[in-house]
Amino acid sequence: MDFQSVLNQILVLFLTLVVGYLARRLHVFDEQATKGLSSLLLKVALPALIIDSLQQSFTPELLKASGQILVIAFCVYAASGLLALLVGKLLGAPASDIGVYRFALMFSNVGFMGYPVINAVFGSEAVFYAAIYNLPFNLIVFTLGILIISWGGKKAAQQVTPAMFFNPATISVAIGFALFLFSVKLPGPLATTVSQLGSLTTPLSMILIGALLANTKLSETLGNWRIYVVSSLRLLIIPLAIWGVLRTVTSDPLLIGVPTIIAAMPVAANTAILAQEYEANSLLASQLVFVSTLLSIITIPLLAYFVV
């Protein structure tokens, strides 16, 4: 893919993020509205995008690719978990911060940036692969992820409960995949509605990230060297390792490219949200999201140019 084309597409996302940042700083909407936008994105727009992307005609080849990408995803999260466990100790951070660093290393910004960027880099057909690949994310982030980020916090989660597995993203993947398996196409008006709601994901996600970053003080962020170490691992080392390994096991460009680009996303916005919920270091979590998101404006186009 042409570097200038990728850069232009990422810049569009970044400029939309800036709009969200300025709108929040200028009090166009308040904290309550930000929470409302987040809820709208996670419960309406993103599920609609997932279902719309899974509106594919069933073929054995596509089903095989789905199984392959699921295996890749679970392997990536297992390896990332081991890396997070190791790096969390090596960083020498306070006990109350280790869970936040580990969570940041394991989970990239799939929901808010992953789908829009995959769509920008590979086209709409790749969102199908992204939706399948992200099923483990939706299963793990609200189960094991909660245990990780609350480690050392004041409100540590003690166990995984069945309710954790039911959220709009996992439910929409289940619905969409069932429609795919049986080659069921949504009726015209409903299909158009789902498609239009799904198209809100890209601008809404960027506006929301900008709004979240508006609460971060840059002066308090730049002096923490651990943030740069985690950001470098998150944005470059992990995706390059995934790319290198996948090239040895498959020649399918989407099976290689989609996991690589998703892994190259900045720290998940859920880091700040869950850190606040479980009384971990939410300021550190916001700083990780802030720095990694800014750096990703440079790293994502470069990575996409060299590995796609």
Q: Give the model confidence (pLDDT) of 70-102 as tens digits.
A: 999 999 999 999 998 888 778 888 888 888 999
| Position 98, amino acid | I
Q: Are the CB atoms for 259 and 133 separated by under 8 Å?
A: yes
Which spans in 185-236 are helix H? Answer: 188-198, 201-213, 218-221, 225-232
Determine the pLDDT at residue 4: 72
CATH topology of domain 3-307: Na+/H+ antiporter like fold (1.20.1530)
Cross-strand partners of 108: 267
Q: How far apart are CA 213 and CA 21, in angstroms?
A: 7
Q: Which region among 7-11, 18-22, 40-44, 92-96 has the lowest average model confidence (pLDDT)? A: 7-11
Query: What mean pLDDT do residues 237-248 have?
Result: 94
Share of the chain above pLDDT 90, in %: 28
| Position 102, amino acid | R
How many CA within 13 A on the CB side of residue 171?
Answer: 10
60 — pLDDT class (breaks 50, 70, 90): confident
List strand residue ranges (DSSP E) for the chain, in order. none
Closest-CA residue to 132 (of 9, 307, 254, 269)? 254
Query: What mean pLDDT do residues 168-177 have?
Result: 83
Most confident of 55-59, 109-113, 183-187, 302-306: 183-187
197 — pLDDT class (breaks 50, 70, 90): very high
Query: Long-range pairs for 304-307 at CB < 8 Å and ≥24 separation?
Result: 304/1, 304/6, 304/10, 304/121, 304/261, 305/1, 305/3, 305/6, 307/239, 307/240, 307/243, 307/256, 307/257, 307/260, 307/261
Determine the pLDDT at residue 220: 66
Most confident of 141-155, 170-184, 211-225: 170-184
Q: How far apart are CA 296 and CA 291, in angstroms?
A: 9
277: how many CB neighbours lie within 10 A of its CB? 16
DSSP reduced 3-state for 278: coil
Domain segments of the chain as ranges = 3-307
Determine the pLDDT at residue 2: 57
Query: What mean pLDDT do residues 43-54 have?
Result: 85
Cα torsion angle, 201, 206, 209, 214, sign: negative
What value does the mean pLDDT of the chain take? 84
- What's the distance, Cα to Cα, between the start and end of the chain in Å? 6
Q: What is the pLDDT of residues 105-118, one digit of tens each?
A: 999 988 677 877 88
Q: Are the CB atoms for 114 and 133 separated by under 8 Å?
A: no
Q: Which residue is listed with tokens 């409302």?
A: 36
pTM: 0.80
Residue 216 has pLDDT above 80, yes or no: no
Residue 152 has pLDDT above 80, yes or no: no
